[in-house]
Amino acid sequence: MFAKTDDDAATTAELLATIPKYSVTLVTRNPKSALVVPGVIETKIFFQKVDIKHYLKGGEEKDGEEFEQPSLLKQAKGECKSPTVRDTELLRVVIPQDTVEHKGDWNAVTKAPRKFVFTTLKDEFPAEVAKAIVDTWGYAQEQADKQPTATGLVKVHKSAVNRVLSYSGTANLIFEPLRWQDPLPRVQVKCVEKDKDETEAAYRKRLIEMRPAFGLARGRRQLGLRMNYDQTANVQHTWYVDHVPRTWNDIALLVCIEQQTELIEVTIKNSRPKGKQHQCRLADGESAADA
């Protein structure tokens, strides 16, 4: 208790005498006191000289050394356990606008991405996957091939990283490691073309139903399946062939590629002029995984 004057202190002592049991410390201002204590008035810190008196039970005054300290209301049972510390890993989360079907949902992504992500996790993901994501932050809007995307970070329990990655592509959320390195598994991506007249939602659903081991990966114009790395499997890539003579047709280029490379199942794609005598061509072809 705090008393401004000696009269306030005397009145307080009289009131305490009417109470059968109490334990009170009374602080009284005294300009002549050697004891200086800090105080706060309207958020400003100040110092003042005070007397401190301790009253116990029937109003009997005692020194601070003899003052009876209050006891615990309830003693804790058993031993206190140290908090559990769990290792975490950072992943990138990407939300492409073309995967969000309703305009109102995209507005929610741009205005409150953190809330949108946690709501989506709660509504669309298994409980153990949603609980494995501890926090998310750092969202920014980007343009990928003229397609707006929202990109942020998520903190995931390390023991559940592979499980979270396996749900990449579910309900608008694509999860990507910042770096593919230990202890993350080595993966390879199999690109899957979008069918003609297939909607984005149907395209994504079709790939998810293929149950890739580590979810979906997003490229510039298509999605891919993240699969376990297989050294014996062939991998399909799109190859850039430069300085092709403009007089060559698809067959001539195909023969040249098969003779000078180890590519198989080659398909020649579009061309682009480069100077008066040459052109650039794109070709799809399979190669060994380490090629």
pLDDT tens digits for range 138-153:
999 887 667 789 999 9
Residue ranges per structural domain of the chain: 2-66, 88-228, 234-288
Place of tokens 């903190």: 155
Secondary element (H or E) of residue 226: strand 223-228
- The one-letter amino acid code at 276 reads K
Return the structure tokens found at 145.
């091939």
Mean pLDDT lowest among 35-39, 146-150, 188-192, 214-218: 35-39
User: Cα(287)–Cα(132) distance, rounded to whole angstroms?
Assistant: 37
pTM: 0.55
**Other Cβ atoms within 10 Å of 24 Cβ, number:** 15
User: Looking at residues 274-288, what average pLDDT do you find?
Assistant: 78
**pLDDT exceeds cutoff 50 at 72:** no
pLDDT tens digits for range 226-266:
988 775 566 666 777 888 888 888 888 888 887 788 777 77
**At a CB cut-off of 8 Å and minimum separation 6, what does 275 contact?**
none
Q: 175: burial class by Cβ within 10 Å (0-12, 13-18, 19+)?
A: buried
Query: Which one has a higher pLDDT value, 82 or 174?
Result: 174
Structure-derived torsion over alpha carbons of residues 103, 108, 114, 119, reported in degrees to the nearest 10 = -80
pLDDT tens digits for range 101-137:
777 788 889 999 999 999 999 999 999 999 999 999 9
How far is residue 101 from each of residues 77, 92, 106, 172, 220, measured CA to CA in Å?
Answer: 54, 22, 8, 9, 19
**pLDDT exceeds cutoff 60 at 70:** no
In this prediction, residue 145 carries a pLDDT of: 65
In this prediction, residue 174 carries a pLDDT of: 93
Q: Rounded mean pLDDT of the chain?
A: 78
Query: Which one has a higher pLDDT value, 189 or 77?
Result: 189
